Amino acid sequence: MNELLLLGLADDELILGWRDSEWTGIAPMLEEDVAFSSIAQNEIGHARAVYELLADDADVLAFDRKPEEYRCAPLVELHLLDWGRTIARRCLYEVADEIRITALMEDDDARVAGLAAKINREEAYHRMHAEMWRERLADTPQFRSAVDELWRYALGVLPPKQREALAARLGREQVDAVERGTHDDAFAALHDEMTMVRRSAPAGAQW
């Protein structure tokens, strides 16, 4: 089991789910607010399932590490509270994630392969959602410039050997990727907020 890779996957899903849930109550239409919230919940559910493969207590992995110990890609950390960039990120992430998850479905470890297959079935709906939005926004300058801006971040979701597949799927040239393993200031703020209630009681307290 490639634990570092799985931890990266789980952290991506956790932090993207966290970012997506920031849209609760303020999405461009109420219908989409409800839809987006389900996607955020699914992402966090995926993170939890992967953490459970890696440790006894998913919450300890999700909340109790130091910021520098998180393995998420910079793409999912970005604070993008505008819809054009949010949807651009979703569209890019879904394609990258599909490449990654499909590869994991062939993993030698049956537990990993089985979980990847389960995640993939739920992601199929996310892809449909992303594609529906991409079709509608494709011609807007807001969406187009967001995809350009986020492309180098999207490459950083995948290990180098899978990037060619991503570039081919999206019809783009590879550029220098923003690599996993470093975090910006926005992540420190996110981590601080994410853990504030949990930190307020001694370790082991029940919530």
Partner 1 sequence: MAAVEISRDEQAFLEYVQGGGQVETSDWLPADYRAKLVKFIEMHGNSELMGVLPEREWILRAPTLQRKLALTAKVQDEVGHAQLIYRVVEDLGKSREQCLADLVSGKSKFHNVFHYPTRTWGDVGVIAWLVDAAAIISQKALLKCSYAPYARIMKKICWEESFHILHGRDVILAMVTGTPAQFELVQEALNRWWGPLMQFHGNPIPAEDDPMFLWRIKSQGNEEARQQFLDGYVPQILELGLTVPDPQLRKRDDGVWEYTEPDWAELKSVVTGHGPCTAQRLAFRAHFIDQEQWVRDAVLAA
Partner 2 sequence: MIWEVFRQDRKGQPFEHAGSLDAPDAEFAEAWAREQYGRRGESVALWLAPRDAVHVVGDWADEFDLKYRRVDGYSIKARLKEARERAAAAGTG
Chain residues in the site for partner 1 (CB under 8 A): 18, 21-22, 24-31, 33-34, 37-38, 40-41, 44-45, 47-48, 58-59, 62-63, 82-84, 136-137, 140, 142, 193-194, 196-198, 200-202, 205-207
Q: Quote the CA–CA distance of 141 and 169 in Å, as a whole number.
A: 21
Helix (H) or strand (E) run with residue 206 in it: none
Pairwise CA distance, residues 63 & 195, whole Å: 6
Q: Which of 25, 31, 204, 207 binds partner 2 (CB under 8 A)?
A: 31
Q: Which among partner 1, partner 2, none contacts residue 45 (Cβ within 5 to 8 A by kind)?
A: partner 1
Applying CB under 8 A, the span of 13-21, 32-40, 177-185, 194-202 interacting with partner 2 comes to 32-40
The SS3 assignment for 23 reads helix
Nearer to partner 2, 129 or 191 (CB): 129
Report the distance separating Cα 84 and Cα 141, nearest Å: 9
Residue 59 contact among partner 2, partner 1, none, beta carbon within 5 to 8 Å by kind: partner 1
**Cα 104 from Cα 114, distance rounded (Å):** 9
Q: Which of 69-87 are b and which e, b meaning 16 or more Cβ less than 10 Å from the residue's Cβ?
A: ebbbbbbbbbebeebbbbb
Per-residue string for binding with partner 2, 152-181, x by CB under 8 A?
------------------------------
What is the Cα 66 distance to its own chain's centre? Answer: 19
Taking CB within 5 to 8 Å according to partner kind, which of partner 2, partner 1, none is near residue 3?
none
Is 79 within 8 Å of 20 (Cβ atoms)?
Answer: no
Q: Which does 69 bind (CB under 5 to 8 A by kind): partner 1, partner 2, none?
A: none
| C-alpha to C-alpha distance for 5 and 8, rounded to whole angstroms | 5
Residue 196 contact partner, candidates partner 1, partner 2, none, CB within 5 to 8 A by sort of partner = partner 1
Q: Check residue 128 for interaction with partner 2 (CB under 8 A).
A: yes
- Residues binding partner 2 (CB under 8 A): 31-32, 34-35, 38, 128-129, 132, 136
